[in-house]
Each structure stands twice: as structure tokens, then as C-alpha cells.
Structure 1
Amino acid sequence: MGTSRQSSGYYAEPLFTELPKPSQTPVTVVSPMMAPPPALTPKQILVHHSADQWEEFVYEWVLGLKKTAGYVDVVGMGGSNDRGADIAAFLTTRKTDDRWHCYQCKHYEKALTPHAAYPEMLKIFVAVAEKQYQVLPERYVFVAPKTGASLTQLLAKPSELKASFFREIAKPGSRLTADYDEAVLHRALDLAQQTDFSRFEAGSLDTILEQHATTPYHVRRFGTRLPERPAVPKPPPEHSADEARYIQQLLRVYAEKYGCSPHSPDEARAHPRAGRHLQRQREAFYCADALRVFARDSVPPGTYESLQDDVYDGVVEVEERDFGTGYDRLNAVLDAARDMELGANVLVSYVRPNDRKGICHQLANEDRLTWCQEEER
């Protein structure tokens, strides 16, 4: 008589064995709502600028034109009483008494039209008629996110622009002339009749952005990446006048450490250890100077100086400690600079180890750091 599997009390093997499922890598599906939004382009960012921010952007652009356009100075003149010029760029030191260019900033949701341009054009004629400016600007540039087709076409035909301007003024009940004294208006319109309207133009936003990208302000305004840092030049065989003070400080270190003359760079260079050490410090100095030049051309003024201040703040407590020799103090400061956190400066990701050392020598070059302090007392 057989015994049933269910009642036996023993474990029974199943009749069929389930095969293991093939291993699968988990797949995470990200909802479109969770995906990071695409970065805005500079054009899209400019659309959201306020009128003041737009004027700052244009000012940065015109500053960037300084060398190529031959401007001796660029001045922001915007405000409620700008007298027809938001930004003035001067070609001589006599400013608006001589040759100059005018940049008029307009930031509207819609494209700039002749209806919006004519009051600004009249304003500059009135300003000269009232002797606010001695002469008209040689160039008068409307700078707007978008210029309408009708104004673009008129600007391409100065004679038609002039005729259209006067037709608008001559319309019965025109509000263009309502706010001006009749005598001043007469002088202004007489000046306009004698003027070549080819001086009026509109800036191309694509060209403006291309040129703005070459200025130190572009990265900060649009959050773009800095350009690649150029190769660091080797220091020349003889030190320059710009290196005099930090070299003098190093010579004092070598005089104390190795007995070299504190007044002879040649003697230090000839010393087997001092010479190699001096060469390394000069390479570091030139590395930091290359970073300074890179910063000058790529980021807003003061950025590199802020980095120098960060290094100084990180090492000055070390520099002020008591040391047996200036050589020990120098090495302790360089070690501190190498190991310190540099904060949020935009240049941090471009800083090399030699830059940190070089900045210390730049600070020594300005007497903000001193290695042989006993000799300075």
C-alpha cells in the first residue's frame, strides 16, 4: 500500500523546476518633467533682460570695441534725461565737442519701428541745437534685440529715412514736436535738414553677440565656458624690471641659507641648489602672470585680483609665524598655498599648482609677503 506525498511529512520535490530568469539591468525612465531644462542661449537670456540690464550689456559691448574703433573713452549717459545718447564713445579727448559715436539702447518686446526711432532722432538734433553737445555724433546706432523690417529698410536708404522723418513731423497734430520750444525746434529741424542721415544705423544682434563674446564680460553675463588657457611662456634668461622685488627677496633667502650675495642674481644662479630653486620660482611667477593676462582678457576686471586676495588670506597667518630662516618661511607659505581651498572664483578650475606658488611671488613683489622678516625690521 503506497504512502501519499502529502501525508508523509517529508519534503517532496516539485514535478517541474522553474528556470531562473535571465539577469536584466534595471532601466530608469526619467519623465520629461524631471529632465533638466536645456540651457538658454545668449539671445534667449537677453530677451528676459530689463531695460537697465540691456543697457549694461550694450555698454560692455561698446567697451569691447574700444581698441578696434579707436575710442579714447566710453561713458554711460542713460537715464530719464539722456539727451538722445544712452552710451557715448569718444574718438578724441574733446569728447562730445569733437568726433564721437552715440549708442541708443531700446529693449522692447516687439521689434523696433520707425515710430519708436523718430523721437530719439529728433532728441539728438534738439540736444545739439541747445548746445548740449557741440556736434552731432558721426555714428548714431540703435541697439535693440530686434529691428523691424520697415526701419531696417529705411536705414538702408538714408535719403528715404530723412524724407520719412520729416513727413512724420509734418503730420497734423504730430506728438513728435509737442514737448519742444518753437525756437529750439526750428534750429533742430534746420540742423536735420542739413544732415546726412547715413549716420543713423541699427546694430545686428548676431554681430553684437559675436563681438561681446571676445570681451571679459561675456562669461559672467551668459554663464558660458572660458576659452582654453594658452601655453605658459618660459621666463627669459635675465629677470625683468617687473620681477625686481620678489627676486630681491629670494636673493636674501639664498644669502641666509647658502651664503650667496644678496645683491647678485648671477651668483645665485651659479649656486647648484639656489640656482635650481630660483629657476623654479621664476617659472611659477611667469605661470601666474600668464593666468593674470588670461583673466584680463577673459573675465571682468578685479577677478584675478580677488584670486590673489584669496591666496593672501590663506597664507598670511603662516607668513607671520616665527621661523628659524626665511627659507623655512617661504616653503611653509608655498605649501599652504598649494593645499588651501580657493573658494568660488571663476578662475579656480584654471589654476595650476605653479600658479599658486607664482601668486605668492606676485604678493612678495608687492611687499604683501616677506620671507626674511628679520632683515625688514
Structure 2
Amino acid sequence: MMALPPTLTPKQYLVHHSADQWEEFVYEWVMALKEAGYVDVVGMGGSNDRGADIAAFLTARKTDGPWHCYQCKHYDKALGPATAYPEILKIHSAVAEQQYMELPERYVFVAPKIGGTLTQLLAKPSELKLTFFAWTEKNTVKLLEEYGEGALQRALDRARQTDFSCFEAGNLDKILEQHATTPHHVRRFGAPLPDRPAREPAPPEHAAGETRYIQQLLDVYSEKWGYSSGSPDGARAHPKAVRNLQRQREAFYCAEQLRVFARDSVPTGTFESLQDDVHSGVVEVEERDFDTGYERLHAVLDAARDMQLGANVLLPVVKPDDRKGICHQLANENRLTWVQEDEQ
């Protein structure tokens, strides 16, 4: 038998990212740092990023107040001082020229691999500062051409006032651990979905958010069994209607639980895409001629149960009741109708 190819780890996937994909990954991670207390996170990358690829703001004053900077670097080789020094100079220049009013409280280099020399320098800020100024002296001619004499001097003056302990490197293992808590991890790395929580029963009382799909079901029961559909009382008094209504509510809440699970586990829009797939698969059935809404309802539910759902990332955790429940979610939004006007 032919052996299956080995599965790439997230670290191995990241090695093959482009610079833009790497920055997107870092942005997803920073957005997940809830404990940092960020009020907003903004991608600033580009040819004129002013020393910050991703800015995370601690107050509404943004870079006029306390903020953190994440500098994204993705190279074939490990990140070393020769790459870090120009970025350190750039952020000081941006502050000296008042492009930012404040230096970031934290300036984090984020790279697939940080070289040993830079790691050691970041662990000893005083030495990092000394070697930075040694680098600027060695490269004075080139830096004068790039910045101009006045701007370079202002940047260096600002750097002399800085405690270089603000510069650090991100730990990729910890970054991946935190990224795994985001809805983006499954899509980016093809990782398995987390376990879906145990299903909870539908609450005994009808919630305001159920109004439309329940009314549609009451119309179905009223048409079939001949009682007023204005309230659930008639359905509760009918043995078949009350059991059917309870089953449909359980399915609706199953799909609602899947909606919440998707919100926390996969990228925005994934669950809505699944709803659209179900709608596309059943709407032709819903539009057929039926003698009763009861027949239409069950024909649509059968079609949803049996249909192929494409390649949505949620499929491994989709249950039969989710499919039925999604139909009721669609009915709740008037995208499906059981008892149609020409049948009443």
C-alpha cells in the first residue's frame, strides 16, 4: 500500500506563507489577544508603514496614547540584528517626525524564526541599545542618504531617550497556541474543528426570536387539523401538533447552537454560507405545488436531510437536526414559506 504523505504542522505551513499571508496570520493572532485590552487593531503594513505593520491601541486616542506595535517579518532565514536595527530606527524617526505622538509601549518582532544573536540582544536591552548605535555609526553615510541629516539626528536623539526593553520577539509556539483559539485557525491550517458542546434542549417557553417560524408551523397545523392558528394553544391541545411542534423547536435550537459554535470556531460567514447552501438545495422543492403546507414542510425537511452540502468546513459536525433547524431559521427569515397564499 502507498503511504500517505505526512501532514504539515502549522509551523511548516507558516514557512511557506508569503509576506502578505504572514501579516494576515499575525493580524488574526493579535485580534485574539483579549487579555491585552485592545480597543482596536489596525493593519498598517505597506511601503509607507512608518515602522508599524500592525498597531494595537489601548485607548481611543490610538497612537496618540499608549499602543503596541507588531512588526511582521517573513524571510527564509532567521531574523537577525541587521534586519531589526533599521526597523528600530524607523519607529524612532516616525515619532521624532510626529507621525506618531508616542512610541509603542511594546514593539514586537514577529517572524517564523528569530536568530540566536537577536534573541540574546532582546533579552539584554542595554546591549541592544549599544549595538544599535554602533550600527548607526557604521552606516552613517547610507542613513544620511536615506533620512537626511536633520531627520536622522532627530531620530537618534529620540532613540537615546528610549528604554530598549520595549523591543521584544514573539514566541511562535505561544502565538500558535493563542491563534488556535480563533475562528481562523481551522481555515488557515486545515486543523480539526474543536469538539461541539453537548446539545441542550429547547427552552419550554417560546422566545421572541422564534415568532415567525413558529407562526408558520401553527399555520401548517391549523390548515391540516382545522383549528385557529393565532396562538400555540390549539397546537398544545392537539396530540400530533404538539409533538410535531416540539420536534421542530428542538431542531431549530440545534441549528442555533451550531450558529454559536460556528461564530466561535470558524471564520465569519461560514455558517451563513451553510444556510445559503441549504436554501439553494430546498427552495426548488418549496416552490412546487402541494395540496397542503404540511406536505410542503415535510418535503423540504426530507430534501434538507438528504441533500449534498458541498465542502463547508462545518460539515463534520453537522447533525441531521441541524439541517431541519436551518430550514426553520430560513422560515424565521421568510426565506421559506410552508402555507402559501394560493393554498389558504
TM-score (norm 2): 0.93
In the alignment, is residue 167 of structure 1 matched against residue 139 of structure 2?
no
Aligned to 2:4: 36
Amino acid at match of 2:31: L
- CA displacement, residues 208-251 of structure 1 (integer Å, 9 cap, x when unaligned): 11111111111222222112221111111112222222122222
Aligned to 1:191: 158
**Offset at 1:368?**
0.9
With over 3 angstroms needed to count, the CA separation of the structure-2 counterparts of 1:218 and 1:261, relative to structure 1, is: same
- Counterparts in 2 of 1:304-315, with a 5 A limit? 304-315=271-282
Distance 1:175 1:331 in 2: 76
Structure 1 residue ranges without an equivalent (≥5): 1-29
Distance 2:97 2:165 in 1: 23
Aligned to 2:191: 224
Aligned to 1:64: 32
Distance 2:55 2:15 in 1: 24
Structure 2 residue ranges without an equivalent (≥5): none
Contact 2:278 2:304 in 1 (8 A): yes
**Offset at 1:312?**
0.2
- CA displacement, residues 39-77 of structure 1 (integer Å, 9 cap, x when unaligned): 121112211222122112112211222x33222222222
Contact 1:141 1:200 in 2 (8 A): yes
Aligned to 1:76: 43
Instruction: Give the 4+ runs in structure 1 shifted more than 6 A.
Output: none
- CA displacement, residues 280-314 of structure 1 (integer Å, 9 cap, x when unaligned): 11110111111112222222211111111110000
With over 3 angstroms needed to count, the CA separation of the structure-2 counterparts of 1:62 and 1:326, relative to structure 1, is: same
% identical aligned pairs: 75
Highest RCO, 1 vs 2 (Cα 8 Å, sep ≥ 6):
2
Give 1:288's match in structure 2, choosing from 233, 255, 273.
Answer: 255
Q: Secondary structure at the match of 2:229?
A: coil
In the alignment, is residue 54 of structure 1 matched against residue 30 of structure 2?
no
Greater fraction helix: 2
Q: Secondary structure at the match of 1:245?
A: helix
**Offset at 1:172?**
5.9
Distance 2:157 2:342 in 1: 75
Aligned to 1:329: 296
Q: Secondary structure at the match of 1:140?
A: strand
Q: RMSD of the TM alignment (CA)?
A: 2.0
With over 3 angstroms needed to count, the CA separation of the structure-2 counterparts of 1:186 and 1:279, relative to structure 1, is: same
Amino acid at match of 2:150: A
Distance 2:183 2:191 in 1: 11
Larger radius of gyration: 1
- CA displacement, residues 151-187 of structure 1 (integer Å, 9 cap, x when unaligned): 1122122222222222222336463454113322233
Aligned to 1:369: 336
TM-score (norm 1): 0.85
What count of residue pairs does the alignment treat as equivalent?
Answer: 344
Q: Secondary structure at the match of 1:327?
A: helix
**Offset at 1:376?**
11
Higher mean alpha-carbon deviation, 132-141 vs 163-172, is at 163-172
With over 3 angstroms needed to count, the CA separation of the structure-2 counterparts of 1:174 and 1:201, relative to structure 1, is: farther
- Counterparts in 2 of 1:1-377, with a 5 A limit? 34-65=2-33, 67-171=34-138, 173=140, 175-374=142-341
